[in-house]
Amino acid sequence: MAPRSSRGIAPALLCGLSLFLGFPGLVWVQISVPPQSSPHTEPHPCHTCRGLVDSFNKGLERTIRDNFGGGNTAWEEEKLSKYKDSETRLVEVLEGVCSKSDFECHRLLELSEELVESWWFHKQQEAPDLFQWLCSDSLKLCCPSGTFGPACLPCPGGAERPCGGYGRCEGEGTRGGSGHCDCQAGYGGEACGQCGLGYFEAERNASHLVCSACFGPCARCSGPEESHCLQCKKGWALHHLKCVDIDECGTERASCGADQFCVNTEGSYECRDCAKACLGCMGAGPGRCKKCSPGYQQVGSKCLDVDECETAVCPGENQQCENTEGSYRCVCADGYKQMEGICVKEQIPESAGFFSEMTEDELVVLQQMFFGVIICALATLAAKGDLVFTAIFIGAVAAMTGYWLSERSDRVLEGFIKGR
């Protein structure tokens, strides 16, 4: 490969240097936002115990076909003990009962480990249900299904069908809770054995109840039709087995503010603000005012804005009046601006040049960039071997160097004098 000519290297370096001096650097800042932690609620101890037992039973299923791993299973079962009921299997199962992040499970296992060992070696035959023996009988954290509270009392509706099957018994299966029935939509009563407000019995037998919705405004009804209402919801009145809306705005039931008016709605009412022109009103708009607000006057049946600017209301010199809704304001006339509370004539600025708003440092940088581009162009032409452009290039570099050194020497001398 032929050696590269060095004639183009110097001009390229000079171009790069001259352009580099004209541009500021950039700084990138990365801001990291810490992750937000979600609130944590601890489970009921009974639920933790149930999860522990479920995980224990899964561990038993996972190890049911395992052995001691010695290779001679028949000899190990005869001479040592059966792996099925061995301490080795118990340890293997307990090691995988709780996940690493389940602190409640680990805490409960630490408290009940001796009980689990006792059940494993001595109680399995007489109490095969580990959940019942550990969580209910020994630790007394849980109750049988359908019961609740410290004494494991039956839920309303009985333990066999708590809340009639149409609700949830609070605290069911635990030693806590009130036993109150949280009924499904449409059902009510202590044990969810009745239809709630707005529903009627569509079907009932010894074991089941079907509740269907009444017609809209009916609180109690005998059927789904509008004429089947027996009692109405609030805001409605019963009339010939139908619920009719009460107009609260025509009675003393409505309670609105002095600057509000009443609007009747189905089963209720709304209070809405009067128009700005009104001091009290009977409806929407400036035509329903009881009295007109200051800055307004009654014209016919409406309260309309008064134009205060028709009279001389702005005493200041060079001011003019601007009418606003219900009032006015005084502003400086065209060609004037407010300064220290008075209106003074604006000075029309002279036409500015392109570089008039640039700082001295910005002009210096722009000047350096301009000369840099010129030198780059001359260097490119001089690199081609043209003697004329080479002479011009050398002269330009010498002139710029002399100019730069003269300015630098002036600054150094000035600093030296000031320093002394």
Per-residue pLDDT tens digits of the chain, which is 420 residues long: 434 444 443 443 334 434 333 433 333 333 333 444 444 556 789 999 999 999 999 999 998 877 655 555 565 555 445 788 888 899 999 999 999 899 999 999 999 999 999 999 999 889 999 999 999 999 999 999 999 999 999 999 999 999 999 999 999 999 999 999 999 999 999 999 999 999 999 999 988 999 999 999 999 999 999 999 999 999 999 999 899 999 999 887 889 999 999 999 999 999 999 999 999 999 999 999 999 999 999 999 999 999 888 886 788 888 889 999 889 989 998 889 988 888 998 887 665 555 566 677 776 767 767 767 777 776 676 666 666 666 676 766 666 666 665 655 555 445 545 554
- Nearest alpha-carbon partner for 232 in 202, 198, 257: 198
Rounded distance between C-alpha atoms, residue 274 and residue 285, angstroms:
7
Q: What is the pLDDT of residue 311?
A: 81
Rounded distance between C-alpha atoms, residue 333 and residue 317, angstroms:
9
Helix, strand or coil, per DSSP, at residue 48: helix
DSSP label at residue 289: B
Per DSSP bridges, beta strands 209-213 and 218-221 are unpaired
Rounded distance between C-alpha atoms, residue 404 and residue 371, angstroms:
12
N residues, the chain: 420
**Cβ-count burial of 239 within 10 angstroms (0-12 exposed, 13-18 middle, 19+ buried)?**
exposed
- What one-character-per-residue DSSP string does 3-33 give? PPPSTTHHHHHHHHHHHHTTS----------
Tokens of 102: 């389940």
State how far the alpha carbon of 239 is from the alpha carbons of 197, 213, 236, in Å: 19, 20, 9
Q: What is the pLDDT of residues 127-183, one digit of tens each?
A: 999 999 999 999 999 999 999 999 999 999 999 999 999 999 999 999 999 999 999
State how far the alpha carbon of 70 is from the alpha carbons of 67, 80, 87, 210, in Å: 8, 12, 16, 64
| Amino acid (one-letter) located at 285 | G
Contact between residue 420 and residue 409 where contact means Cβ atoms under 8 Å apart = no
Q: Taking the C-alpha atoms of 408, 409, 411 and 413 in order, what is their torsion angle to the nearest 10 degrees?
A: 160
Rounded distance between C-alpha atoms, residue 198 and residue 187, angstroms:
10
Rounded distance between C-alpha atoms, residue 133 and residue 140, angstroms:
9
- Nearest alpha-carbon partner for 283 in 271, 266, 267, 268: 271
Rounded distance between C-alpha atoms, residue 194 and residue 192, angstroms:
6
Tokens of 125: 């035959």
CA 342 to chain centre: 50
pTM of the model: 0.51
